[in-house]
Amino acid sequence: MSSLRPRHAAAGAQFLDPAVLGRIGNLELLARTVVDGFLTGLHRSPYLGFSMDFAEHRPYNPGDDIRRIDWKLFGRTDRHYIKLFEADTNANFSVLLDLSASMSYGSHSLTKLDYARYLAACLTYFSNKQRDRVGLVTFDHEIVDYVPPSMKHLDTILHTLDRAEAGRPGSLEEPILKITEMLGRKGILVVISDFYEEPEQVIRALGPLRARGHDVIVFHVMDPYELEFPFEEASGFEDLETGEQIPVIPKKLQGDYLEMMTAHLASLAKKFADNRIDYALLDTSKPLDEALFAYLLAREKKSKTR
Amino acid sequence: MSLAFLVPLFLLGAAAVVVPIAVHLTRRQRRNVVHFPSLMFLQRIPYQEQRRRRVQHWFLLSLRALALMLVVAAFSRPFLDRSDIGATGGGGPREVVVLVDQSYSMEIGDQLDRARTEAQRVFDGLGPLDRASLVTFARGANVVARSTSDRTRLRGALDTLAVSSGATRYGPALKVAQTILEESTLPSGEVYLLSDFQRNGWTGDEGVRLPPGSRVIPIALSEPVAVDNVMVTDVSLPRQIVAGRERITPTARVVRRGGDAARDVMVSLDLDGQEIQTRSVTLDPNSAGVVSFQPFTLSQPHTTGTVRLPDDAISADNTHHFVLSPGTSLGVLVAEGTRSADDVSLYLRGALQISEDGRFDVRGRRSNTIRPVDLDGAQTVFLNDVQIDGGSAERIRTFVEAGGGVLIALGENGGWPDSAADMLPGTIGPVEDRIQGRGGRLGYLDYEHPIFEVFAGPRSGDFTGARFYRARRLEPSDAATVLARFDDGSVALAELRIGRGRVLVWTTSMDAFWNDLALQPVYLPFVHRLAEYLGGRAEPVPWFVTGQVVDLADPDALEMAGLVSSVAAGLAEGLDQIALTPAGSSTRLPAGDGPRYLPLEEHGFYTVRPPGSEPDRPFVMAVNVDLEESDLVRIDADELALQVEAPSAVENGAPQLGQAFELRREDQERRQSLWRWLLLAALALFVLETALSNWVSRQGSGAVGATAG
């Protein structure tokens, strides 16, 4: 697996400004708006199901795919019947959403958590629409909410997302270890976080998921100010999670900061790739559709490789 | 002298000096707090801490610390404690105030010499750090030497002691002592009161309260023995016109206090410095008698006179001075209308011509025009039932503005030109008849007004008997004063002041046409009062009493003082004046816009004249002593002392000295008020520090934690 930069896959899509999405109060409506619009623009079937269950037979009509003729029934009845299959849940899809205090940061109208929430809602809605069982786990330094995967849990997930709030310090390893134990059946796990931990710690936390056979897709949500550090005025910078404060003259530090941030991102990308975890860095100022592209491309790639 | 603090506890605040240092060394950048998701990377940049923990601008830090120290010092209320200077003497240095009575009763015996001796004894007892003041007093107080330790100066001040003509008043002297003690920085105060302690000098409500730690030491100078004293208490000077000349018959009232047997007292009368008559009167102990002198003719203005008694214990009350001038008749013009009845002024003229001293010089004119020559020599004009023309009204206006008075008596033909309507105290309306019943009466009289004040007392004139059958309506203006109203409320007499003069309107006739007032006994004094008031005549005062003050810039006051009116205005408006006191000293009273007050402090004759002139009969004012001082009844000196000393010192005595000392410290601090200067200095330092800090901040904006201190 390799990391995916969504902007390369976004050509031709009609994107929605995150700020516009922010004005849609209902998460389901938001997800539907994004996903349906996204699918319309995609011009290709999103149904990439891997298994179909038998539903009924119907007489063969010219033009039907002859591969779907039930030859055993032809043997018994000497008539051609087509087997109809009912789409079935083909995967467990769970979103692991980081609610640590750092996710509450936002340099513009949308915080990282808002963006992550929209993203989670869209992906969940999207997956539910293609008949995956959808689940949700929110966590900071421990598990906050857990919605087990189910076809019927879309509303619950959207509701849980709706009231999710970031406020406490976060860490990955401990809550994800518990999540690993809770999620028995293999599935698709989408981890949405800002990953303010050392890359080694991140991999150590996510490694067990991968080891259990889950397909792990990581969305690294970052604010543009975190990526570019465009501050100018000398200020006291306060850590949202620890409350610690230090005086900073940004112009003096910007170079060092960007260097360290770039190294951090590169290190994360490399380590995720090494562990066959799909990784996408999302800028909260960029349209949400890009994340969906990233997800779809990852899924497509997975399906091809299977 | 040392620096002390009134509230030294505040000095603990000096510990606040560490605050700016600690703030600098530990402070975080607080100008603008940015919440950031994680300081994970920022914390790895290792250069902040070292710079923050090093003082970068010692000068700014010093300014802040110094400003804080000044604030702390200001709150501690520092002062230069001068009380330790006298710590060597027993009880500390004293502020001594010696009050010496100079009233004229002090001439009895050798009281003044005793006062001088006692004061000298007090000054001799002064310690090296004591200070003393000498204050003489009678009606007022005079600081001869103020808070000095110079013995020579104090002794010299004692040599100036002399008996004055004033009466004793303890209040002003004790208030001066209170002020001196309050301003003193010495821990204790003593007031020596040297007097004969007459009761009349103290009423008890003078409001004197000496500061705590002070005490009054009364020293009585008189012996409690009866004094045989005869005094002239009053002189009456009735006038009569005999053969066109004024004759005065002086009568003196003589009172004897004390004594043990009847004795004859010779009473003499001096005129213009020459004794002209002597009379003898026999007076029993504590009795009074009246001495009548032969009449004398008064021909010269400003004639001085003195009723004199032989010398006795108190000489100041043995003489009674007065000044007389021949009365000048008041020029009165009675103008009648050409259409008026022939006898329209019959009663008015008669009333004005009836006077013992010929005080009115009445002239008549029957015309509707008033010429300038008619007003020459006139002080009062009665326009009786006449309608004058506009030109005459303007002449009347000029006359009134210069101080003359006009009474407009409205009758059948009376009126006033519209062109000068502003001279009237109201608008003249139609005739109103009051013939129902028995006619109208005067319902309201302003007895406070000079015209009617002589009628205020019982049996002093009855206006209620007069009947008024007809009157003109008058709507008074805002500036007018209504002096009399009829019983229906309509105006009978109204006044308007114009310039220095006045205009009265009498809404009915002055003679017995529309009323019968002229037939009432009150008519004659009423007309006299009207004429005198309109003419501005003031009854001259034959003498003043010591302590009174005359304003020599006020013509009315001068006229009241006996100056003949023809020269009163001239003297008031003169350039400069010189007043010669009875003792012979002169006081120059320069001309100016304001008043020129001449205090009359000596008994005798004050002469006032323009500088460089030697008038034949100068303006003279007679001044007599206040006879209260001749009442030698004594007050308990200790009782007086108790009333002025601070209660705490009186009740608790010595234990209060410490408290008094503390109060002294507060007084010192309050007077020095060093804290104000310290606060100002601190403020200036803060401003300087702010400016420097901003400058430094701008200069070093590239550095982290650039602000120092």
- Answer for the pair B144, B156: CB distance below 8 angstroms, yes or no: no
* CATH architecture group of domain B544-627: Sandwich (2.60)
Residues A12 and A81 in one domain: no
pTM metric for this prediction: 0.50
Is residue B435 scored above 80 in pLDDT? Answer: no
**Residue A271, domain member (yes or no):** yes
B702 and A CB contact within 8 Å: yes
Q: Tell me, what DSSP letter sits at residue B211? A: P
* CATH architecture group of domain B230-324: Sandwich (2.60)
pLDDT digits (tens, 9 = 90+) for B18-43: 877 777 666 544 557 888 888 888 87
Residue to substitute from B42, B48, B52, B698, interface A, most A β-carbons within 10 A? B42
Residue to substitute from A112, A235, A259, A264, interface B, most B β-carbons within 10 A? A235
pLDDT averaged over every residue in chain B: 83
pLDDT digits (tens, 9 = 90+) for B292-324: 999 998 888 888 999 999 988 888 899 999 988
Q: Tell me, what DSSP letter sits at residue B700? A: T
Nearest alpha-carbon partner for B415 in B386, B437, B456: B386
B26 and A CB contact within 8 Å: no
Which chain B residues are closer than 8 Å to A233 by Cβ?
Answer: 32
pLDDT averaged over every residue in chain A: 77
**Residue A1, domain member (yes or no):** no
Portions of chain B given CATH number 3.40.50.880: 330-535
B133/A294 Cα distance (integer angstroms): 105
pLDDT digits (tens, 9 = 90+) for B227-239: 888 999 989 888 7
- How much is the pLDDT for B471? 92
B679/B68 Cα distance (integer angstroms): 10
Q: How far off is chain A from B75, nearest CA to CA, in Å?
A: 36
Q: Tell me, what DSSP letter sits at residue B436? A: S
Q: Give kind and range of the element (H or E) at residue B679.
A: helix B674-699
Q: Does domain B89-224+639-669 have CATH number 3.40.50.2300?
A: no
Q: Which of A18-22, A47-51, B122-126, B403-407 has the lowest mean pLDDT?
A: A47-51
CATH of the domain at A136: 3.40.50.410
Q: How far off is chain B from A202, nearest CA to CA, in Å?
A: 14
- The torsion region of residue B403 among left (phi > 0), alpha (psi -120 to 50) and beta comes to left
Nearest alpha-carbon partner for A133 in A118, A121, A148, A115: A148
Q: How far off is chain B from A20, nearest CA to CA, in Å?
A: 24
B320/B231 Cα distance (integer angstroms): 9
Is residue A3 scored above 60 in pLDDT? Answer: no
Residues A66 and A156 in one domain: no
Q: Residues of A at the B interface (Cβ-Cβ below 8 Å)? A: 101-103, 105, 112, 194, 196, 223, 226, 231, 233-242, 244-249, 252-253, 256-257, 260-261, 264
Look at the domain B330-535 and name its fold.
Rossmann fold (3.40.50)
- Answer for the pair B407, B352: CB distance below 8 angstroms, yes or no: no
**Residue of chain B minimizing CA distance to A244:** B39
Check B39 against A237: CB less than 8 A apart: yes
Is residue B442 scored above 60 in pLDDT? Answer: yes
Distances (CA, A) of B391 to A274, B396, B397: 128, 9, 10
Is residue B133 scored above 70 in pLDDT? Answer: yes
Model ipTM value:
0.75
- Centre a 10 Å sphere on the Cβ of residue A12 and count the other Cβ atoms it contains: 9
Residue A262 vs residue A183, higher pLDDT: A262
B631/B654 Cα distance (integer angstroms): 38
Number of cross-chain residue pairs from A and B with Cβ atoms under 8 Å apart: 93
Which chain B residues are closer than 8 Å to A244 by Cβ?
Answer: 39, 43
**Residue A79, domain member (yes or no):** yes
Q: Tell me, what DSSP letter sits at residue A9? A: G
Residue B28 vs residue A6, higher pLDDT: B28
**Residue A232, domain member (yes or no):** yes
User: Using H for helix, E for strand and C for coil, what is the string for B291-330?
Assistant: EECCCEEECCCCEEEEEECCCCCCCHHHEEEEEECCCCCE
Which chain B residues are closer than 8 Å to A238 by Cβ?
Answer: 33-36
- Answer for the pair A116, A100: CB distance below 8 angstroms, yes or no: no
A176/A194 Cα distance (integer angstroms): 15
Residue B536 vs residue A159, higher pLDDT: A159
* Phi, psi angles (nearest 5°) of residue B75: -70, -25
Report the pLDDT averaged over residues B490-495.
94
Residue B460 CB partners (closer than 8 Å, separation 6+): B454
Share of chain A above pLDDT 90, in %: 8
Which residue bears the tokens 């999103």? A46
Is residue B696 scored above 70 in pLDDT? Answer: yes
Is residue B661 scored above 70 in pLDDT? Answer: no
Q: Which two tokens stand for residue B307?
A: 């009723």
Residue B151 CB partners (closer than 8 Å, separation 6+): B123, B126
Which chain B residues are closer than 8 Å to A237 by Cβ?
Answer: 33-34, 36, 39, 42
pLDDT digits (tens, 9 = 90+) for B322-338: 988 877 678 899 999 88
Is residue A10 scored above 50 in pLDDT? Answer: no
pLDDT level of residue B638 (50, 70, 90 thresholds)? confident
pLDDT level of residue A301 (50, 70, 90 thresholds)? low
User: Which ranges of B56-165 does DSSP label H, i.e. alpha helix?
Assistant: 58-75, 111-124, 151-159
- Answer for the pair B313, B363: CB distance below 8 angstroms, yes or no: no
- Answer for the pair B571, B579: CB distance below 8 angstroms, yes or no: no
Nearest alpha-carbon partner for A30 in A120, A149, A141: A120
pLDDT level of residue B423 (50, 70, 90 thresholds)? very high
Tally the domains of chain A: 2
Residue to substitute from B35, B47, B50, interface A, most A β-carbons within 10 A? B35
- How much is the pLDDT for B578? 84
B436 and A CB contact within 8 Å: no
Report the pLDDT averaged over residues B494-505.
92
pLDDT digits (tens, 9 = 90+) for A46-92: 343 334 556 678 888 888 888 888 899 999 999 998 887 655 456 78
| Nearest by CB: A236 against B29, B37, B703 | B29
Residue to substitute from A113, A171, A241, A249, interface B, most B β-carbons within 10 A? A249
Is residue B340 scored above 80 in pLDDT? Answer: yes
Residue B8 CB partners (closer than 8 Å, separation 6+): B76
B594 and A CB contact within 8 Å: no
Which chain B residues are closer than 8 Å to A248 by Cβ?
Answer: 29, 34, 42, 48, 704
| Nearest by CB: B35 against A238, A246, A264 | A238
Which structural domain range is residue A10 located in? 6-46+89-305
Residue B330 vs residue B254, higher pLDDT: B254
Is residue A306 scored above 50 in pLDDT? Answer: no
Report the pLDDT averaged over residues A152-159.
86
Which chain A residues are closer than 8 Å to B37 by Cβ?
Answer: 101-103, 105, 112, 194, 196, 223, 226, 239-241
Which chain A residues are closer than 8 Å to B36 by Cβ?
Answer: 105, 237-240
pLDDT level of residue A20 (50, 70, 90 thresholds)? low
Report the pLDDT averaged over residues B507-518.
90
* Phi, psi angles (nearest 5°) of residue B120: -65, -40
- How much is the pLDDT for A1? 36
| Nearest by CB: A246 against B31, B39, B702 | B39
**Residue A171, domain member (yes or no):** yes
**Residue of chain B minimizing CA distance to A222:** B37
Is residue B223 scored above 90 in pLDDT? Answer: no
Residues A226 and A200 in one domain: yes
Portions of chain B given CATH number 2.60.40.10: 230-324
Q: Which of A229-233, A271-275, A294-298, B638-642 has the lowest mean pLDDT?
A: A294-298
Residue A139 CB partners (closer than 8 Å, separation 6+): A96, A97, A98, A99, A170, A175, A176, A179
Q: Give kind and range of the element (H or E) at residue B431.
A: strand B426-433
Q: How far off is chain B from A284, nearest CA to CA, in Å?
A: 14
Q: Tell me, what DSSP letter sits at residue A190? A: E
User: Which ranges of B626-673 does DSSP label H, i.e. alpha helix?
Assistant: 637-644, 647-652, 656-672
Check B39 against A264: CB less than 8 A apart: no
**Residue of chain B minimizing CA distance to A100:** B37
Residue B240 vs residue B404, higher pLDDT: B404
Which residue bears the tokens 């308990």? B636
Which residues face A58 on adjacent strands? A82
Number of residues in chain B? 709
**Residue A97, domain member (yes or no):** yes
User: Which ranges of B501-634 does DSSP label H, i.e. alpha helix?
Assistant: 523-535, 555-560, 565-572
DSSP string, A85-124: EEE----EEEEEEE-BGGGG--SSSS-HHHHHHHHHHHHH
pLDDT level of residue B86 (50, 70, 90 thresholds)? very low
**Residue of chain B minimizing CA distance to A245:** B28
Residues A82 and A112 in one domain: no
**Residue A265, domain member (yes or no):** yes
- Answer for the pair B552, B571: CB distance below 8 angstroms, yes or no: yes
Which chain A residues are closer than 8 Å to B52 by Cβ?
Answer: 247
Share of chain B above pLDDT 70, in %: 87
**Residue of chain A minimizing CA distance to B38:** A239
Which residue bears the tokens 């010269």? B300
Question: What does DSSP say about strands B245-248 and B239-242: parallel, antiparallel, or unpaired?
Answer: antiparallel
Q: Is B700 exposed, middle or buried (0-12, 13-18, 19+ CB in 10 A)?
A: middle
Q: Give kind and range of the element (H or E) at residue B175.
A: helix B170-183
Residues A209 and A294 in one domain: yes
**Residue A183, domain member (yes or no):** yes
**Residue of chain A minimizing CA distance to B31:** A235
* Phi, psi angles (nearest 5°) of residue A21: -60, -35
- Answer for the pair B136, B103: CB distance below 8 angstroms, yes or no: no
| Nearest by CB: B33 against A101, A245, A261 | A245
Nearest alpha-carbon partner for B233 in B172, B181, B290: B290
